[in-house]
Amino acid sequence: MSGVLDSAIVLGIIRFLAGRHAWMVLFLVAAVIPMVLLGNSYLMSSFAIIAIFSIVVLSLDLVMGYGGLPNFGVNGFFALGAYVMGVLAAKLGIPLALGAGIAVLLNLGVAFLIGVATLRMKHYYFAVASLGLGVIVVQVIGGLPDQTGGWSGLTGIPKVSALGYTLSSDLAFYVVSCAALFISLAAGRNLVGSRFGRAIQAISTDELATEAVGIFVAEHKVKLFMVTSVFGSLAGSLYVLFLRVPTPANFDVPVLVEMTLMLFLGGQRTLWGAIIGSGVMRLLPEVMGGFHDFTTALQGLTLILILLFLPKGLAGKAEEVWKDRLRPRVVVDRYASAQARNGHDASQRFDGRTPGEGPLLEATGLSKRFGGVQAVSELTFSVPRRKIKAIIGPNGAGKTTAFNLLTKVITPDDGYACFNGISLKAYKPHEVSRMGIVRTFQTPRLFSTMSALENVKVGLHTHLKAGIINALVPLAATRREEHDAEERAYALLELTGIAPRAATIADKLPFGERRLLEIARGLAVQPSLILLDEPAAGLNETEKDRLSELLLRLRDAGLTLLLVEHDMRVVMNIADEVLVMNYGQKIADGTPAEIQRNDAVLKAYLGEDTVYAAN
């Protein structure tokens, strides 16, 4: 087997496929095949529909696959794109291109409103509400027969003509639809690899961790909706030109269900799976020929079998084989190449934004009660600049709650914290992060589907500029920024000592390296203060030493560190100050030497008797 895979021809093919633009060649070849085989036959109309549906399914992949939002409202955008342009052209004689533009604007507005309206809804509630959007659009179209032709269809849409050529044959439509699909696929690929694309993938895996690196989750969700609506709208406008006499049924719930099936059959998080899924679903009836009535049952059965035996979908499975078995044969890890290493100097300073002296963080009377438990009570302490402070205390002492209060993941009942002299009272978690406070979690919360390098790049989010337009069409400046970001991210992986793992998917890293990656991701935010929640937990002695050494190095580079830690050896070795908590209260605060002599601390840790015995 491996002999075949290593033959010169196969390696050549793999090397070609690993190239950046291979997908374009593959797309063109695949697009030409039906034309050569079938010419201008009636089957070309099926292929045109496949191309148009692929665009919508691709947008579904962006929102559901990459964004993790169960948005079932895409058929609403699709229908609006079709009908707004169609009605404007048929009833008011407005040029088609202008109508399509108006439809896009309207869709953007609808997507914005629906995005904002559904922000607070979770899971199934969101899924069903978004499903409602599509139903409402379709029903309103059907319910306005005077304007839209109602359920019997809209007539009078003119044919497209440009430069004296009228678009009418199925073959011509196929070519136009393929061009539109090609552009959509390119835009989708750009988006997924962009700053915005990383943010939405991060959100889909862990919202809390995404906020912790300063990304405003709600904003990104709404924007993702809006992007999807543009794809849907333009595909709808194209589809209506093809249909000529659209009816609401062309956009109703069964179409949505079919598109969802297409996405999963093809494989989500691949983009090109959209084409595979649409192709299989739409060609199945043609292949079935005389057994037309069996199509629906067969589609359902196919989906069940795919989910049971190939849950990643056809394209998803292919990508897995490609990434795990084929591509590694030819790709030299590009991150490990000297070019990336020469870029950024890892010895950056972390106190540039917060110069000066005195405490960097001051907490005053922080309190939080959960039901009958006073988790944190009147907690007052300060963290000096460019020092390491450790919070220790028995389990349940309120240490992690204190972290959550400081980062505003939960709101204190009473008291407040000041960072660099500014009260954090009015700030949200992502804003706290942007001010320069980042945190890690007791159990590392990484973006599990992304590589180590991408995880760090998500951390760089707030320091990069590329917006959605740049993401869809990256010009030189954006590409430079991306390249620069890659180098900065790589430098941080070097700093934390996990650079050789740059291309490894976060999920597959050993535990100790996950902790380090989480720190690297936090450092990417360029914080002045980092809160580490039990950074040494689960590490072996060698790893603990490596960690201690890293934390000291960060302190010397100007970073202020506050850590919750159980491992006394680590704490006593590296901490400049130690705060001891028990039952939500501060029981001691001082240098490690002072703490080790403190009676209250000894009692809390060792019990009363031991202390008396010692005295």
**Closer by beta carbon to another protein, 11 or else 257:** 257
Give Cα separations from 600 to 127, 265, 483, 605, 606 (angstroms).
54, 63, 54, 9, 10
CA distances from 367 to 375, 391, 539, 577 (A): 8, 16, 32, 22
Please report how close the Cβ of residue 298 comes to another protein at its closest, in angstroms.
7
Torsion of CA 393, 396, 397, 398, to 10 degrees: 120
How far apart, in whole angstroms, are the C-alpha atoms of residue 582 and residue 588? 9
Query: Shortest approach of another protein to residue 96 CB, angstroms?
Result: 27
CB of 590 to another protein, least distance (A): 35
Using the minimum distance from each CB to another protein, give the nearer residue, 16 or 294: 294
Q: Which is nearer to another protein, 249 or 331 (CB)?
A: 249
Q: How far is the CB of 127 from another protein (least distance, A)?
A: 7
We find the least distance from the C-beta atom of residue 27 to another protein, in angstroms, to be 27
Which is nearer to another protein, 506 or 580 (by Cβ)?
506
Q: How far is the CB of 56 from another protein (least distance, A)?
A: 17
Of residues 8 and 308, the one with the C-beta less far from another protein:
308
Task: Report the nearest approach of another protein to the CB of residue 328 (Å).
Answer: 27
Give 225 or 381: the residue with its C-beta nearer to another protein. 225
Phi, psi of 342 (to 5 degrees): -70, -20
Beta strands in 508-550 (DSSP E): 529-533
Tokens of 50: 């496949």
Instruction: Give me 460's structure tokens.
Output: 């760089």
The angle formed by the CA atoms of residues 41, 276 and 505, to the nearest 5 degrees, is 160
- Closest approach of Cβ 136 to another protein, in Å? 5
Residues shown for the chain: 615
AA letter at 252: D
Give me the least distance between CB of 303 and another protein, in Å please: 3
Output the CA angle 168-173-177, nearest 5 degrees: 155
Burial of 287 (C-beta count, 10 Å sphere; 0-12/13-18/19+): exposed
Q: Yes or no: say if 66 and 127 are a contact pair by the CB < 8 Å rule.
A: no
Tell how strand 414-419 and strand 422-423 pair up.
antiparallel
* Nearest to another protein of 258, 565 (CB atom): 258
Q: What are the structure tokens assigned to 459, written together?
A: 């951390």
Binding site for another protein (CB under 8 A): 64, 70, 117-118, 120-125, 127-129, 131-133, 135-136, 139-140, 142-143, 145, 150, 253-254, 257, 260-261, 264, 293-304, 307-308, 311
Nearest-CA neighbor of 536 among 392, 414, 372?
392
Closest CB to another protein among 73 and 279? 73
CA 291 to chain centre: 43
Residue 505, SS3?
Answer: strand
How many Å apart are CA 544 and CA 440, to the nearest integer? Answer: 16
In whole angstroms, what is the distance from residue 532 CA to residue 522 CA? 10
Q: Residue holding tokens 């951390």? A: 459
Provide, rounded to whole angstroms, the least separation between the CB of residue 230 and another protein.
Answer: 22
* Lookup: tokens for 351: 């106190």
Q: At closest approach, how far in Å is the CB of 254 from another protein?
A: 8
Of 314 and 563, nearer to another protein (C-beta) is 314
Identity of the residue, 70 or 592, whose beta carbon is nearer to another protein in the bound complex: 70
* Residue 338 Cβ vs another protein, minimum distance, rounded to whole Å: 40
Considering beta carbons, is residue 129 or 503 the nearer one to another protein? 129
> Residue 410 Cβ, how far from another protein at the closest point, in Å?
11
Tell me how far apart the alpha carbons of residues 199 and 395 are, in angstroms, rounded to a whole number: 34
Main-chain dihedrals φ then ψ at residue 520, nearest 5 degrees: -60, -40
Q: Any idea which residue has 């895979």 for tokens?
A: 5
Q: Which is nearer to another protein, 307 or 473 (CB)?
A: 307
**Local structure of 582: helix, strand or coil:** strand
Which CB atom, from 24 or from 301, has the smaller least distance to another protein? 301
List, in sequence order, every beta strand (DSSP E) within 148-208: 160-162, 165-167
Are the C-beta atoms of residues 226 and 108 closer than 8 Å to each other?
yes
Rounded least distance, CB 304 to another protein, Å:
4
Would you say 251 or 264 has its CB closer to another protein?
264
Beta bridge partners of 368: 376
SS3 letters across 324-378: HHHHHHCCCCHHHCHHHHHHCCCCCCCCCCCCCCCEEEEEEEEEEEECCEEEEEE
Q: Which amino acid is residue 215, in one-letter code? A: I
Residue whose CB is less far from another protein, 401 or 478: 401
Rounded distance between C-alpha atoms, residue 277 and residue 554, angstroms: 49
Q: How far is the CB of 199 from another protein (least distance, A)?
A: 20
H helix count then E strand count, the chain: 28, 12
State the residue for tokens 């959550």: 404
